[in-house]
Amino acid sequence: MRNRFHGRVEAPGRACERPGCPEPGEFRAPGPRGSSFDGPGDYRWFCLEHVREFNAGYDWFMGMSPEEIMAAQNPIHGWDRQTRAFSPTAGIDAAPRWADYSDPLEAISQRARARRPAQRADGKVFTPDERKALEVIGLELEADRRALRKRYTELVHALHPDRNGGDRSSEKRLQAVVEAYQLLRKAAAFV
């Protein structure tokens, strides 16, 4: 039975988790595993005296910078951006071209494969973002660090305005190549 007014949850046989305390554990406190997409997380159960002690020493802002604390205390914290579910694209690049598939499940499975990490023959893995970066640069999964550097150099020389008589028509493509290279050079598969 739960008394809503002061947080007491009576459960016969549940002891306070403070070592050596014989009192019943009737008040919950955050446990070692916090709440996440997996569920509400774990709780610790204390008597009134020890839950007060726990709460006095609990610092939700521990490890945060002053700017992060101010942002967390902002009344609209978390409401200032569109969540993926309510964004116009709902986190999806584009709808599949249904005419290209005889079975709708093929389109869905292809999307799932595209979002799955890809593994090379040597066992090293590329994340979906790293796979997209490989496509931008024009490299295969089996490329090594030397091939990455060589291809990046070729593309920068071909796309840079200084190499094209000041022509800036390739600037967006060049920026995409630079961003892809910055991601890939730090990728675990190239370490």
Query: Does 179 fall in a domain?
Result: yes
**Are the beta carbons of 80 and 56 closer than 8 angstroms?**
no
Q: Which domain holds residue 126?
A: 117-190
For residue 106, how many other CB atoms are within 10 A of its CB? 13
CATH code where residue 159 lies: 1.10.287.110
pTM: 0.44
How many independent structural domains does the chain possess?
A: 1
Percent of the chain past pLDDT 70, that is, above it, reads 82
Taking only the tens place, the pLDDT of each residue in 41-69 is 788 899 889 988 888 887 878 888 888 88
Q: What is the pLDDT of residues 3-45, one digit of tens each?
A: 554 678 877 888 999 999 999 998 888 887 766 666 777 888 9
- 73 lies in some domain: no
Strand partners, 44: 29
